[in-house]
Amino acid sequence: SSPLIKNMNNTDLERFKRIAITLDRYKRMPAVMPEKYIWVNLPSYYMQVYDADTVVLESKIIIGKPQTRTPLLYSVISDMVTYPTWTVPNSIIKKQYLPKLKANPYYLSNIGLKLMDSKGEIIDPGTVNWSKYTKGIPYKVVQGSGDDNALGVLKFNFSNPYMVYLHDTNERYLFKNASRALSHGCVRVEKWDKLAYYIARNDSMNLKEGDSLKYNTDSIRTWLENKEKKRIGVKNGIPLFIAYFSCEAKNGKIRFYDDVYGEDKLMREKYFSAK
């Protein structure tokens, strides 16, 4: 929609409705928030790390497109992986890759992806009869770790049923865009390194007596420099909220964001349709 239409929709009444919807969302948050947590607000395209009510880190993020939206959830960061491999989701294989494989069985190899069977053996795509598959394929499509990897050089895992995570990206130039709903559902974090070091320092500071930690900020740096794939178990899991607040108070003013997934529109129709 054109900027003019957007401005016409930004009447005081519309703003009042959006504030009311947002306050309603705040009500559904826990009465007491954790002392430390990661706050991802999708419409703002920002992630913040809160520590004792202070924002200690703020980073631009890229979120899912409206067609492949990032889910709203509450979880806890459980581990980090340096130089991760990426397993391509089935939805991408079905929509984007299958038609191309039928035309050229080596299409995946040409874009740096490997085909693996259930045992983890690498399959020659030229030996597969691609014409018989329509809904998906009985193989995994994996992108090896490295600087070209879609996940970048570090990812943050947390338990969730949607197969999403926070990660770096090999398309870092996209953080310059004002509208950043561009991913297949995962959240790309511009300051992924600062987030990793914050988690590492938090683990170091909260070490119980007699306990030892298998990593620190220096070892993460070393693994990244050496391009080593490592899974780093996080001892003090940091809570993560992926939320949808289309307005928020910033420096004494209320900032309004685009209703990127149309969530406010749904709520508005539900609550205000007769008013």
pLDDT tens digits along 123-140:
999 999 999 998 889 999
pLDDT value at 32 more than 50: yes
pLDDT value at 177 more than 70: yes
Predicted pLDDT of residue 123: 93
Name the nearest CA neighbour of 64 among 162, 146, 155: 162
Cα distance between residue 152 and residue 172, in whole Å: 9
Cα distance between residue 264 and residue 97, in whole Å: 34
Strands 239-243 and 36-41, by their bridges, are parallel
Percentage above 70 pLDDT, the chain: 96
3-class secondary structure, 103: helix
Predicted pLDDT of residue 105: 92
Mean pLDDT of all residues in 175-203: 96
Predicted pLDDT of residue 1: 47
Query: What does the pLDDT look like over 34-43, one tens digit per residue?
Result: 999 999 999 9
Predicted pLDDT of residue 147: 77
Mean pLDDT of all residues in 79-108: 91
Predicted pLDDT of residue 6: 56
Cα distance between residue 78 and residue 26, in whole Å: 26
Percentage above 90 pLDDT, the chain: 73
pLDDT value at 2 more than 60: no
Predicted pLDDT of residue 112: 85
Query: What does the pLDDT look like over 192-220, one tens digit per residue?
Result: 999 999 999 999 999 888 888 889 999 99
Mean pLDDT of all residues in 58-75: 96
Mean pLDDT of all residues in 246-252: 90
Cα distance between residue 109 and residue 186, in whole Å: 24
Cα distance between residue 208 and residue 200, in whole Å: 15
Predicted pLDDT of residue 274: 60
Mean pLDDT of all residues in 83-90: 88
Average pLDDT, the chain: 91
- Tell whether pTM > 0.95: no
Q: What is the dihedral of CA 202, 206, 207, 208, to 10 degrees?
A: -160
177 versus 146: the higher-pLDDT residue is 177
Predicted pLDDT of residue 5: 52
Confidence of residue 3 (pLDDT cuts 50, 70, 90): low
Cα distance between residue 220 and residue 213, in whole Å: 12
The residues assigned a catalytic role are 167, 186
pLDDT value at 221 more than 80: yes
